């Protein structure tokens, strides 16, 4: 089921976000870059995070060139590396970014073009699962108290998880989380996104139960591809062949348009925690509220996913501390 949101929401004319601070993972390219650009254009201060210093610098310079007066900073963060996550979170809590509030985190970074064979991170986790799901589970936990401090009872801070339309394509309930029994590249991607979707909904239920003023929302960008996206030097520079190949896919849209779903989920006051947002026609179109995938909506599945992520990361979300910080 697709439920339209308020008809007057215009992705080209966001509300004034002056004074707001958002952290975007994977902000140096694709959806993360264009979401960051939109936030900066609306007056927000954006912390651009990513694992490649040169690419982050290029994204930073591109936003400053394309958005006069933009307020952006960069933060090194590799979401597949727990040590990098904790260091980055510590910088936000007590480093150069601590002078500002934190109104939202866009958990965007991830692997789309998955490796053909199973690869492991430094700490022995399956790479796609670790990057798309586990790393953001840890980052959200590390920043939860900071988000809660910035919230008010009238206006909550927000976590937005990057879902995928692929989770409706028939992949079964996630069980072999690390794909130890069988690895297949497409399955690795879709299962990781099922886990992300389940985490996003379960997080919101647990946040509500603990009275933490942080909303957790899931959004997907449809089928957004680089060859249909405008060129941005150092950020999106598709070859002629990619332009040609992508132009014959009428069901696709640009990454700039795909970022609309993410930005709406992050900033629209009419969006509620636990909801799922994406393009009206699934692969493209204006942003509307949608029905979550079957497994992500299943409470037992969500509980098992959450507990497995706790076990694999050794991380429990500090709900009680976040609730106290918000008072």
Read off the tokens for 149.
């401090």
Backbone angles phi, psi at 109, to 5 degrees: -55, 145
Asked if 189 is an active-site residue, the reply is yes
Q: Across the strands, what pairs with 160?
A: 106, 217
Q: Across the strands, what pairs with 266?
A: none
How many of the other CB atoms lie within 10 Å of CB of 21? 24
Residues 232-242: b if buried by 16+ CB within 10 A, e if exposed: bebbbebeeee
Measuring CA to CA, which residue among 37, 212, 27 is closest to residue 109? 27
158 with 259: CB under 8 angstroms?
no
Task: Please list, in sequence order, all residues whose beta carbon lies within 8 angstroms of the beta carbon of residue 12, skipping any fewer than 6 positions away.
Answer: none
**Catalytic-role residue among 22, 189, 223, 276:** 189
Distances (CA, A) of 276 to 114, 132, 179, 252: 24, 17, 26, 20
Q: How far apart are CA 216 and CA 274, in angstroms?
A: 6
- Angle formed at CA 161 by CA 156 and CA 166, multiple of 5 degrees: 145
As annotated, the active-site residues are 189
């Amino acid at each position: 089921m697709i439920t339209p949101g308020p008809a007057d929401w215009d992705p080209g004319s966001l509300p004034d976000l002056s004074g707001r601070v958002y952290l975007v993972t994977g902000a140096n390219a694709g959806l993360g870059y264009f979401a960051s650009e939109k936030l900066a254009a609306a007056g927000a201060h954006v912390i651009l995070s990513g694992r490649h210093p040169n690419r982050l610098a290029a994204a930073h310079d591109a936003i400053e060139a394309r958005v006069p007066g933009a307020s952006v900073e960069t933060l090194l963060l590799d979401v597949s590396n727990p040590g990098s996550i904790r260091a980055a979170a510590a910088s936000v809590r007590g480093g150069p970014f601590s002078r500002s509030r934190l109104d939202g985190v866009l958990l965007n970074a991830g692997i789309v073009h998955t490796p053909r064979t199973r690869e492991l991170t430094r700490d022995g986790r399956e790479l796609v699962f670790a990057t798309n799901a586990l790393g953001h589970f840890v980052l959200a936990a590390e920043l939860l108290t900071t988000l809660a401090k910035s919230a008010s009872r009238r206006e909550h801070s927000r976590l937005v998880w990057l879902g995928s339309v692929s989770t409706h394509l028939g992949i079964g309930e996630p069980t072999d989380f690390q794909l130890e029994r069988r690895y297949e590249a497409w399955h690795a991607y879709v299962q990781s996104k099922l886990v992300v979707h389940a985490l996003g909904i379960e997080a919101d239920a647990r946040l509500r139960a603990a009275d933490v003023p942080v909303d957790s929302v899931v959004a997907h960008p449809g089928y957004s591809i680089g060859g249909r996206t405008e060129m941005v030097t150092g950020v999106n520079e598709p070859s002629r062949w990619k332009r040609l190949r992508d132009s014959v896919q009428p069901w696709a849209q640009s990454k700039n348009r795909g970022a609309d779903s993410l930005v709406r989920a992050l900033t629209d006051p009419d969006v509620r925690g636990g909801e799922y947002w994406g393009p009206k026609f699934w692969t493209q179109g204006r942003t509307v509220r949608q029905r979550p995938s079957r497994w992500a909506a299943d409470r037992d599945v969500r509980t098992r996913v959450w507990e497995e992520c706790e076990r694999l990361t050794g991380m429990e979300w500090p709900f009680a501390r976040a609730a106290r910080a918000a008072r």
